[in-house]
Amino acid sequence: MVEMTELTTLSTIKCKQQVVRAVRFNVDGTYCLTCGADKKIKLWNPHRQILLKTYGGHGNEVLDAAGSCDSSQIISCSTDKSVILWDVTTGQPLRRYRGHAGPVTCIKYNEESTMAVSGSIDNTVCFWDVISRRQEPVQVLKDAKDTITSIQVTDHEVLTTSVDSHIRLYDIRVGKMISDYIGHIVTYGNLTRDGQCYILSCADNTIKLFDKETGELLNTFMGHECIDYLLENAVNEKDSHIICGSATGEVFYYDLISSKCTQKLRHSDNKPVVSLNHHPTDNFLITACEDEIKLWGVQAMEE
Amino acid sequence: MSDSDDDNDNFVRYGTALEPIEEDEVPTKRKFQQAPDQYAVDEHGRRRFHGAFTGGFSAGFGNTVGSQEGWKPSNFKSSRSEKAAFSNQRPEDFMDEEDRGEFGIAPRQVQTQREFSGQKRQHRTQYHDGPIPGEPVLHQLLRPVHETAAVRMLRAMGWREGQGMGERLSSRDKKKSKEQHKVYGCYMPPELRQAQEDQSMEESESSDSEVDFDTLFAPDDYEPYILQRKNDRFGLGYSGLSRHSVLGNLIGEYGSEPGSSKSHLLMKDKGKRVSIRGQAFGVGAFEADDEDIYAKEDMSHYDFSLDGPVQTKKNTPKKDNQKNRNVLEGFVKSTKPLPSVPTYPPPALPRDYVPAAAGARRSRFEPTTQQPRDQGLGRHELSARARGELLGETPLPPPPPETPVKDQKDLTTVLGKTINFVSTVEKTELDYIPIKDSGKEITKVFKPFIGNPEKQKRYEKYLENKGVLERDGDMDKLQEWERERELVEFEQAAKLYKPLSGVMGDRFTHASEPDDAVNPLTAVAKSTNTYGLATKEQIEAAQKGMYGVMTRQTVTWRPDPLVSKRFNVPEIGGARQQEKKEDRPKVSYSIFSYLESSVHDKDSFAAEQNKFSGSKSLTTSILPKTDKKATETPQSSTQVPQNNDPIVQSTDTNAKPTTSASITKETVTGFAKRMTVAELFLKESENTKKEGAAVTDTIQKFDRMDLYKSIFLSDTEDEEDSEKSKVNDGTDFIDVPKNVERNTSPPRGIFANIDFDEINSWRRKEPEKVAEEPTKKNESIHKFNKSVGNPPEEKNDEANEAMYGPKIPENLQKRLESEVQKDSLKETIDVDSSSSEDSWVDIKEVKNKKQKKKKSKKHKSKHKKKSKSKKKDR
């Protein structure tokens, strides 16, 4: 059991983006992307509180974004039904994919950033070939019967969660699709860092931990509140805690094993913490609430 | 001028020469101007404009601003010493001469002095203060007109108004000067003109002889030629056609009585001449011929008679003139009326036609009187029911009466309350056809492989498994390549036979709750719709928290090859042999694109041909699809016929010089040889079945060649080859049957008695047999295998059974039969004699010097096998 050290706010950034829809660390956690309701994506260094670049070109609210593994490209998706591939340095859109019939809610790169996987309100998941100039999706998954809420991509798997109360795990290696019925709307799905469990934020104010192999429920985490918000969750770098935002403006740290709330971070008062992302390797958490993002971490003692 | 010009100064030059254009240089339209050229200068070469900061234009004394001297002010004059000579400065003192010039800022004009201009200077008269003060009224009313000085001078010199200027003339001279006539065409030579003038003079003298010749007249006043301002946009000198009729007044205008007719045809000089006024057409700008384009046409310029001027006018009776007053001179009114122009009745209006004013525009918000019809698409004319029937849906039960729901709605409107509809609406019958169900039914209806029930079964299984062919009992019967092909076929069939519901079904879902038009903001219960995905047990299990096996579903899913590639994951089941050729998926999903990409298009057909090497060559492609399918059946492919057909054997032996070389036999062998290639392959494929992929390679190799041949080379090429070899052997000479048609000369010698036409016609029928035979032959072949030395009658019977196409004529058949018998007998003998392989090879080597190595190999191997099988049989 790893002892939790108290996390404190290291920095607070006012993004001036009306509302931040999603906040994402880049591959090594030095930068973060905020997707705003003002149709822009902003690239920040949250540790030093510097705005690096603004990416404008979407026709509507940006709902999700992801940075490529070499941090040279950004892929983003928006309510304008399009997916845009950005060049980080120039800030210009490289490609715009218009394959979805509805707002695109979530997007992820694969491991080598050769392909982007996007999920949409039109119930489909599209695979986009980022390498070639192909404009059409390489493959479209139409299994879901309602909005895709989140996507996770591993080296050979794609996990999608949907409002139709199912999660689907597409195994590219085996050629199988495993769908699990959850019984509640799944607002966000995540995989533990060891890749053995799903962490599913459900609309019934719980987070459920499932075993990937068997589909059995391992644990349920309760305490936070989600009032029709698509709240996200995260795991910390050691797989010891599950982190989740709440509609009450707090961030909950649950112990993975004991399912107890070990820590509450207060981000704001009664404003839902819709998006959060954990640093891939270090104990940093970034949370977004309205147009404010906060970086949480352990204060360095020697300074 | 420069020195270079010295050598050619024998001609004069004006201006400065253009700079020679360099060869590389592209000549610019705009002439290059050097900076000094771009300054505007006055006539003295001084700069005129200096820009705002240098004092504007022509600045300074003598335009000195900007020059070295700078602006020089006028000298200061002390007014102390010469006070009397003090004069006011005028603006002109500060002006240059060009300012006072025509285009300057204060141009100077020469004007007539006031006293000469005719305007008397107003004297300030003092009006005396009498009983009527002020200006006298009479003074106001009458203003004296003052002549100009010139008029007064003229008056003094004896000039009267209305007279011209100049010397007084005699009447004769005056007349002469009056006739300042215009001349059309060439001027007359002076002597002639003189004569004419004299003539006319005499006439006139006779007319006004009463006037005293001594009397001198003042010349006529000069009529000033007043230019009229042009206020239209016609061409110069053009006056358009007015609305006057040619002969009379403005049509329908006031005063159109005959007397006042303002005709274009004018009588000048009291009926002497007729002139036409007005001009209809000018002359084009590029027509240079017409010298006097603005001349007015005059009838007097034309001679109407051959014998000089005649007074015809006087003879015409007035009454007649009155009668046809609208008739041109020289014309007579016709007595016959003109043939009436045929009139066509206007089209009958439709009965319900409502006339509308032409200009009236209909507002788009106006209610339309007639119902807009759905245009173009006939499907809208079908009712929903009819469409449903077409799609194979079960007809709907009539909708239940809706009264209770309506009452509730009324209630909500009355009360203005929000009612939770989710709870109130009881789940009655669905008022729609569930999309999924209809789709399933349709897939049941569509059975693309109904002709082959086993295949259909496999197809259904394939659909169930969502795109994965499972290996099972009858699957193993099929070979690898066949399975591949079937997979492709199934994929396309699934795509093609998936109806709309399949395509659209996953895009749309039915509303789970009715729309509340009254209050759209009613609270909606949180949707936990499972869309029919979760079973009851699953839901229960989930509620109990019993996740796991119950809630889990595993379905096979095939990632796109590119996805696997990008994820660095090996493709499932290995790379498919037939990759999608088109890199881009078709955007248009029309039915035609599906049809095109179906199995039956050209490419896939060719591919199929490659894979399946039944009786290949043109004959199969000519056959209808059903036949092809029949040949595709697994039985035909799995059961490889033993290649012991007598006819086939005869082909092999045709390399050897046969003693009895009849043309009929030749043709038979030619046809049969094509068969052997196919069968050879089948045999080979069976032999090398274990080698898998290697087989397909060889197949493709063979078949590509054969396909090529069947397309580009004639059918009888094989025969020709063999024939040639025979010629080389020199043992036998037979005319090549193919060339018979070309040889127009009558057959001579040994060919004299042969009916070539008959033979050829028979040959042409033969190929149709090819496709059918392999299957039918199987039985016979097996029989034949058992007993090689069977009596020939049996064989013939079978051959007759296997006959395909129109019946062979009696006489020919007899001959054929005898031939075949002979052949078969011979064959057995031949084979026996040639049981040693070495001898075969030797002959082959001799024969195949030319080319066709593959062919020879094939033959060889076949023969070897055949001989082997023969041995075994023995």
Structure confidence at residue A55 (pLDDT): 93
Q: Is B337 in CB contact (< 8 Å) with chain A? A: no
Please count the structural domains in chain B. 2
Domain contains B479: no
Half-sphere exposure of B694 (CA within 13 A, CB side): 7
Residue of A68, A152, A172, A197 for testing the chain B interface, max B β-carbons within 10 Å = A172
Q: What would the mean pLDDT of A152-169 be, rounded to a whole number? A: 91
What pLDDT does residue B868 have?
45
Q: Are A230 and A149 in contact (CB under 8 A)?
A: yes
Do the Cβ atoms of A138 and B534 come within 8 Å? no
Query: Does B677 lie in the same domain as B771?
Result: yes
Q: Which neighbouring-strand residues pair with A67? A: A74
Phi, psi of A246 (to 5 degrees): -140, 160
Beta strands in A2-156 (DSSP E): 8-14, 20-25, 32-36, 40-45, 50-56, 62-67, 73-78, 83-87, 93-97, 104-109, 115-120, 125-129, 139-141, 148-153
Least confident range from A51-65, A165-179, B685-699, B812-826: namely B685-699
Note whether B685 and B761 are same-domain residues.
yes
> Cβ(B667)–Cβ(B650) under 8 Å?
no
> Cα(A219)–Cα(A237) distance, rounded to whole angstroms?
19
Class of domain A31-233: mainly beta
| Nearest CA-CA partner of A292 in A263, A265, A272 | A272
| Residue B141 in tokens | 């009313």
DSSP B119-130: -PPPP-PPPP-S
- CB proximity list for B349: less than 8 A, separation 6 or greater: none
In a domain, B190, yes or no: no
Q: Summarize the confidence of residues A134-148 as an average pLDDT.
A: 89
Question: At B614, which amino acid appears?
Answer: G
Q: What is the pLDDT of residues B196-241, one digit of tens each?
A: 666 655 555 555 555 555 677 787 777 777 777 777 777 777 766 6
Query: Would you place residue A24 in the very low, low, confident or very high pLDDT band (cuts 50, 70, 90)?
Result: very high
Residue extents of the structural domains in chain A: 31-233
Q: pLDDT: is A60 or B344 the higher one?
A: A60
- Which residues in chain A touch residue B531, judged by CB atoms under 8 angstroms apart? 145-146, 164
Q: Is B226 a domain residue?
A: no
- The A197-202 sheet, strands edge to edge: A186-191, A197-202, A206-211, A217-222
The answer to whether residue A292 scores a pLDDT higher than 70 is yes
Q: What's the rounded Cα separation, in Å, for the pair A245 and A22?
A: 12
Nearest to B304 by CA among B273, B279, B280: B273
Residue-level pLDDT at A43: 93
Is residue B384 within 8 angstroms of chain A, CB to CB?
Answer: no
The confidence score (pLDDT) of residue B23 equals 67
Q: So what's the pLDDT on residue B73?
A: 58
Which residues are CB-neighbours of B67 under 8 A, at least 6 positions away?
A: B60
Residue B546 domain-assigned? yes
| Structural domain range at position B545 | 535-573
Which residue has tokens 């090996």?
Answer: B570
Which residue out of B509, B528, B557, B582 would a mutagenesis test of the A interface target, given it has the greatest number of A Cβ atoms within 10 Å?
A: B557
- 8 Å CB contact of A177 and B557: yes
CA distance B468 to chain A (A): 10
Question: B544: nearest CA in chain A?
Answer: A183
Q: What are phi and psi of B302, to 5 degrees?
A: -110, 145
CA A172, chain centre distance (Å): 21
Interface touch B567/A156, C-beta < 8 Å: yes
Residues B561 and B608 in one domain: no
CA distance A58 to A65: 12
A48 contact B CB<8A: no
User: CA-CA distances (angstroms) from residue B453 to B29, B443, B485?
Assistant: 82, 15, 17
List, in sequence order, every beta strand (DSSP E) within A92-175.
93-97, 104-109, 115-120, 125-129, 139-141, 148-153, 157-162, 166-171
The phi, psi pair for A263, rounded to 5°, reads -155, 145
Q: Are residues B681 and B544 in the same domain?
A: no
Q: Do the Cβ atoms of B561 and A149 come closer than 8 Å?
A: no
Q: Choosing among B504, B512, B533, which should be mutated to test the A contact, i.e. which has the most A CBs within 10 A?
A: B533
Q: Indicate if B649 and B567 belong to the same structural domain.
A: no
Whether B559 has its CB under 8 Å from any CB of chain A: the answer is yes
Residue B738 lies in a domain: yes
Among residues 111-130 of chain A, which lie with CB inside 8 Å of chain B?
Answer: 111-112, 114-115, 122-123, 127, 129
Which 3 state secondary structure label does DSSP give B116?
A: helix
A177 → chain B, closest CA residue: B555
The answer to whether residues B648 and B547 belong to one domain is: no
A175 or B310, which is more confident? A175
If you average pLDDT over residues A243-252, what whole number do you get?
90
Judged by CB atoms within 8 Å, which residues 162-201 of A form the interface with B?
163-166, 170-185
CB A97 within 8 A of CB A137: yes
Q: Can you give the pLDDT at residue A234? A: 92
Of A131, A143, A180, the CB nearest to B551: A180
This complex has an ipTM of: 0.89
CB A202 within 8 A of CB A228: no
Q: Is the minimum CB–CB distance between B588 and chain A shorter than 8 Å?
A: no
| pLDDT of B322 | 52
Q: How far apart are CA B385 and CA B392, in angstroms?
A: 10
Query: B556 and A136 in contact by Cβ < 8 A?
Result: no
Contact status of B495 with chain A (Cβ, < 8 Å): no
Contact status, residue B737 vs residue B763, Cβ threshold 8 Å: yes
Report whether B391 contacts B499 (CB < 8 A): yes
Alpha carbons A236 and A250: distance in angstroms, whole number: 17
Q: How far is CA B417 from CA A277, B259, B411, B421, in A?
A: 44, 93, 9, 12
Q: What mean pLDDT, rounded, does chain A reach? A: 89
* Residue B334 in domain: no
Residue B660 lies in a domain: yes
The yes-or-no verdict on residue A252 having pLDDT over 80 is yes
Average pLDDT, 10 consecutive residues per value, chain B (874 residues): 50 76 65 69 68 56 60 65 68 74 77 69 64 74 76 86 79 71 62 65 52 70 73 73 52 41 52 53 50 61 63 49 66 78 82 74 63 54 77 70 48 44 42 46 60 79 67 60 81 70 58 62 58 75 81 86 87 57 48 47 48 41 41 41 42 41 42 48 55 49 53 48 45 46 57 61 51 46 45 47 62 64 50 43 46 46 46 44
Annotate B566-613 with three-state secondary structure: HCCCCCCCCCCCCCCCCCCCCCCCCHHHHHHCCCCCHHHHHHHHHHCC
Chain B residue with the nearest C-alpha to that of A137: B585
Using N-to-C axis directions, what is the helix angle for B853-873 and B663-687, rounded to 10°?
80
